[in-house]
Amino acid sequence: MKRVVTALVAIALGFTLAPVARAVDQPLAGRVIVIDPGHQLGNSNPKFAKQMSATKFNGSIVKGCNTTGTATNQGLPESTFNWKVAKRLRALLEAQGATVRMTRTANSREQWGPCVWDRAGFANDAKADAMISIHADGAASSGHGFHVIAPTAIKGWTTDIVKADRRLARAMITGMTRAGAQPTNYLSSPLSIRGDQSTLNFSNVPTVIVETGNMRNKADAARMSSSAGQQKYAEWLAAGVEQFFS
């Protein structure tokens, strides 16, 4: 009889404690988050020139499929930096219970794109709760720090999502700053509202572009080039995502 009681107690405890533990340890359980590692290494490969020349009207202007991105003065391509941070961010978010999907699954000279409108379409199809597009800027060398881009209201394009995008952008700025990331020193605000970004304009789910830092700045470039620095960027981005869902 004693054994039976012990088993019943264990079952009762198991059923009552498990959901509590999950809520504490896995605050992102049930959330679908799309990570978009900006650009692709093969975008600069001449053999993909035709694919890269595709254009689409984005509600504001006609823009190309995708671009090559910037690089550090030492030659670290933005696409590679974005990719490495994206993988680290994926691990951090998955550890908190999120379902994470990536708009590209490799960083290769032998691959191109996907086009920016397809990246947004990927998040739409995934019915993502949030999409984080990871980028790094190529500004004047004196500039450093991160900024977050959200879209302007464009009728028939972003009016349905502009408030949610703004909420996500503010949460990213708050979470990242609290975690130790330095906001931009070369823009008047870490919140940048733009109408020309296809990734934002084609998206129907909360989406922001995070310019994590300036690849042409010595200090930012040094952080971006080391494993420890890439982990920092991932942790800062994760802090922003956590802030959004808290």
| CA triple 135-136-141, angle to 5 deg | 165
Contact pattern for Zn ion over residues 68 through 87, marking x by CB under 5 A: -x------------------
Applying the rule CB under 5 A, the residues between 14 and 53 that interact with Zn ion are 38
Distance CA 57, CA 202 (A): 10
For the purposes of burial, counting CB atoms within 10 Å of the CB of 157, is it exposed (0-12), middle (13-18) or buried (19 or more)? buried
Could you say whether residue 59 binds Zn ion (CB under 5 A)?
no
∠ CA(227), CA(232), CA(234), 5° rounding? 95
Residue among 38 and 229 whose Cβ is closer to Zn ion: 38
Residues marked as catalytic: 211
Query: Taking CB under 5 A as the criterion, which residues in 98-157 touch Zn ion?
Result: 135
CB of residue 200 vs Zn ion: minimum separation in angstroms? 13
Residue (69 or 114) nearer to Zn ion, CB: 69
- The CB-of-204 to Zn ion minimum distance in angstroms stands at 22
Cα–Cα dist 30/228, whole Å: 29
Q: Are strands 207-214 and 147-151 parallel, antiparallel or unpaired?
A: antiparallel
Of the pair 29, 106, the CB lying nearest Zn ion is at 106
Using rule CB under 5 A, residue 175 touches Zn ion:
no
Q: Which residues pair with 146 in a beta bridge?
A: 183
Q: Which residues bind Zn ion (CB under 5 A)?
A: 38, 69, 135
